[in-house]
Structure 1
Amino acid sequence: MTFKTLFNEYINIFKDIQSNSEIVNKNNRFKNHIEPVIGTMEIESIKFKHCQQIVNNIIKVKELSPKTAKNVNAVVQTIFNYAIKNEYTEKNPANHVIIPKFDNKYNIDLSSEQIKSLIDNILTFENDMYRLIFIFALHGRRKSEILKMQYYQLDLTNDIYTIPPQKNKSRKYDSHEMTPLLASELHSYLKTKENIQQKDYLFLNENTNTYFKDIRKPFNQLKDLSNISKMRFHDFRHLLGTESIKKGVPIEHISQALGHSSIEVTQRYITKDAKISKKVVSSLLDTFVSKDEK
C-alpha cells in the first residue's frame, strides 16, 4: 500500500465526522508537501529520513515557517497512526522528526485608541447583521463559528449559545452565556426574522441561500472607520486574549471564553514584559520592607 492510497482511505473514512475545513487543510498539506516526497512510496519502506525530508523542504527549500512544518508533519503522524490501528504497519517514522523551535506567541499591535475606536465603530455599525457578526467576534468566536451558526444553537430563554463539537476546533460542546450587549443585539436582530427553522443559518446569505463565505467588504469598512490598516478577522480572538491577560483575568477563564482545548493554547497570548520583574519585586518590598530600608 502506498502512502497516497493510505491517505485517501483515511480521508474517505473520516470525511463525514471531520469539518470540511479540516479535510481541505489535510488535502492541501498532502498535495503541496507530502505527496511529492512519499506519496508513491510503500508505507513499509518510508523511514525517518523521508519524513524529515518533508520538513527540511518546507523550511529550507520553500522557506516556510517551522509552524507550517509542524502542521504538515502532524498530518503524516495522523495517517501513520491510522495505519497502525489497522495493522498495516507497526511503526510511525514521523514521530521522530526534528522541527526547529519557534515562538507561537502572538500579540496584536493595536493602540488603546485604535481598540476603543474599533469597539465604538462595531457598536454603531449601520448594518445590523454585520454589527451582530462583529459583536460575536468581540466575544472571541472564530469566523467560521459565527458564519455557520444555526438557530438550534441558541437558547433564547436563558440567553446561552452553544458551539457543537463539529463546529469548533476543540471537538467538544462549547457553551457560553451571553453578555447583556450580545443578548440585546441578538434579540433585536431576531425581531426582523420570520418563519425561522432550527436548521436555518443565523446569518443567511440570501443570494446563495446558505451561510456567508466572504465578509471582507464590511470588515474592511470597519477597519477603515477605525483607522486600522493591518488586522485579520481572527485577530478579534487575539485581542480578547491579549487584553484579558493584561487586565489580570485568570488564564483558565480566558481559555474557556475562547473555547481552547487546553490552557497551553491560551498561553500564546502571554508576552514578556520588561516591567514584570520590577512589579513583582516592588510588590514584595512594599509588603515586607519599611520605607526607611528601601
Structure 2
Amino acid sequence: MAIPKTTKTNYPGISYYSDSQKGKVFLATFTINKKKYRKIIGYENDEFKTNAKIAFLKKESMKNEIENNTYIKKDLTFKQLWELYLEHLINSKSVSQKTLINKKSVYNCHFKTKFDNLKINTIQTYNIQQFANDLLKTKSPKSVDNYLADLSALFKFAIKHKITTNNPVILVDKPKYDNTREYPLDFVESKRLFNTIINFKEPLYKDIFTFLLHGRRTGEVLNLTWDMIDFEKRTYTIKYEINKAKKNMSYEMTDELYNIFINIEDKDGYVFKSLVTGAKIKNLRWAWDRILKEANINKSMRIHDLRHLIGEISLNNTDNSMEVVAAILGHSSTRPTRRYAKVQQKVAAQGIKKVFDTLK
C-alpha cells in the first residue's frame, strides 16, 4: 500500500499522515550505511497513544537496534569478524591498551594464518581442536588455554550480534595444567631480600621496590600518577584503568610510603619517572637483577613474587588473617585467598605494618 503524503514534525526523521481510524500515523525515516529506512512507527490511537515525541524515541531505539546488528552478514570471514570485534573493544573501552596490544599480537602470530579466510560459520570444533593440539607442540598449556579464551570471546561476540549461533570453542578438550607456583624463598632469604630493597643504594629503585613490597603490581606502581595521591587523607588510589580488579582501589599510606611520596620533588605526571628520559619507567628488569645479586638470592625469583612474599610472611609469620591479606593484595574476588569479608583501608595498612616489622 502506498503511503500518503506526510507532514513533517519538529522531531528529526518523524512525519505523519492522517487516518480516519488510527488518527495520526507516524513514520520514521533514517539512513544507516547508505541504506534508507522508512517505517511506520506508531499511530495516535494505538496503546501507547503515540505522538511525535514518542515516535522519535521509538525511531532512535529502532535505529540503534539496526545499527547494532549491521554486523549480520552470514558470510563473514574470520578476518572480517576479528576487525569488527577489535573495533568494538576499542570503541567500548572495555579493555586496557596493553590488552589490546596483546590481542593484536595473538591474532598476528597464531590466528591469522590458521583462520583468516575461513567463513566464520564453517569453523567447527574440530578446526579449533586441531589448532590447539598443534600449538601444544611448542607452547605451554597455559598459553594455549589463553588463546582458546580469546577465540571463545570472539565467538561470543559473534553470537551476541547474531553473526553466528555456535561457539565451537566450548566443546574443545582444553589442556590440563597446574598454574600454581611455589614461593621460592625461606624466611631468612625473604628477610634478606626485604632489607636489601628498603636499604638499596639507588633511591629511585629503592622507592619503587619498597612500594611493590606493599603488595602492589608492577603496572600499578609504574602507572601511578600524582592525581591518585591524597596527602591530606594519607591515601592513594589505584584507578580502575591500571589495576586487575577494573575498579578504583584505595589504600592508606604507610609511613614508608608517605615519606617516599612527600620527598619526591617533581609532583607532576607519573610519580616515578626515568632518570634518563623523564618519562614513565617501562622496565625494572635490570634494577631487579641488581637487587637479587646484592641480596645474594640465586633462586628463580620474579618481581611479581614480591606479592607472594607479602602473602607468605603475612600468613606464616604474623597473625594477619586471610581477610587482611586479601585487603593488602587488593584481591577483588574470594578466589586468591578463599573467603574474606570487606576490610577497611586502616586494617590493611596495619597488616602490612606487621609484615614490615617482622622482616626488618
TM-score of the pair, normalised by structure 2: 0.67
SS in structure 2 of the partner of residue 175 of structure 1: strand
2:315 is aligned to: 245
Q: How does 1:183-202 map to 2 (within 5 A)?
A: 183-187=258-262, 189-190=263-264, 192-193=265-266, 196-197=267-268, 200-202=269-271
1:258 is aligned to: 329
Q: How far off its partner does 1:164 sit?
A: 1.1
Bigger radius of gyration: 2
Q: How does 1:50-65 map to 2 (within 5 A)?
A: 50-59=127-136, 61-62=137-138, 64-65=139-140
2:286 is aligned to: 217
Going from structure 1 to structure 2, the CA distance change for 1:35 and 1:261 (only over 3 Å counts) comes to farther
Q: How does 1:157-168 map to 2 (within 5 A)?
A: 157-168=232-243
Are the aligned partners of 1:251 and 1:263 in contact in 2 as well (CA < 8 Å)?
no
**RCO higher in 1 or 2 (8 Å CA, sep ≥ 6)?**
1
Q: How far off its partner does 1:120 sit?
A: 0.9
Q: Return the match for 1:22 from 90, 99, 124.
A: 99
Q: Residue type matched to 1:224 in 2?
A: K
Q: Return the match for 1:82 from 147, 157, 166.
A: 157
Question: How far apart in 2 are the matches of 1:29 and 1:23?
Answer: 10
Are the aligned partners of 1:107 and 1:242 in contact in 2 as well (CA < 8 Å)?
no
Deviation sequence 1:140-193 (CA, Å, 0-9, x none): 111111111100111111121111111012211111112222222322x32x33
Q: How far off its partner does 1:134 sit?
A: 0.4
Which structure is higher in helix share?
Answer: 1
SS in structure 1 of the partner of residue 236 of structure 2: strand
1:155 is aligned to: 230
Q: Residue type matched to 1:261 in 2?
A: S
Q: Which runs of 5+ in 1 are unaligned?
A: 268-294
SS in structure 2 of the partner of residue 210 of structure 1: coil
Q: Percent identity?
A: 32
1:124 is aligned to: 199
Q: How far off its partner does 1:43 sit?
A: 1.0
Going from structure 1 to structure 2, the CA distance change for 1:97 and 1:251 (only over 3 Å counts) comes to farther
SS in structure 1 of the partner of residue 251 of structure 2: strand
Q: Return the match for 2:274 from 191, 205, 230.
A: 205
Are the aligned partners of 2:145 and 2:175 in contact in 1 as well (CA < 8 Å)?
no
Q: Which runs of 5+ in 2 are unaligned?
A: 1-75, 339-360
Deviation sequence 1:193-218 (CA, Å, 0-9, x none): 3xx33xx0001225334201122222
Which structure is higher in strand share?
Answer: 2
Q: How far off its partner does 1:256 sit?
A: 3.0
Question: How far apart in 2 are the matches of 1:40 and 1:120?
Answer: 56
Q: Residue type matched to 1:223 in 2?
A: L
Q: Return the match for 1:114 from 177, 181, 189.
A: 189
Question: How far apart in 2 are the matches of 1:3 and 1:140?
Answer: 41
Deviation sequence 1:80-103 (CA, Å, 0-9, x none): 111122211122111222223222
Aligned length: 259
Cα RMSD after superposing both structures: 1.9
Deviation sequence 1:62-82 (CA, Å, 0-9, x none): 1x2221111111100111111
TM-score of the pair, normalised by structure 1: 0.81
Indicate whether 1:13 and 2:76 are aligned.
no
Q: How far off its partner does 1:121 sit?
A: 1.1
Q: Residue type matched to 1:127 in 2?
A: E
Deviation sequence 1:95-115 (CA, Å, 0-9, x none): 222223222222221122221
Q: Return the match for 2:144 from 69, 77, 81.
A: 69
SS in structure 2 of the partner of residue 176 of structure 1: strand
Question: How far apart in 1 are the matches of 2:243 and 2:222?
Answer: 12
1:287 is aligned to: none
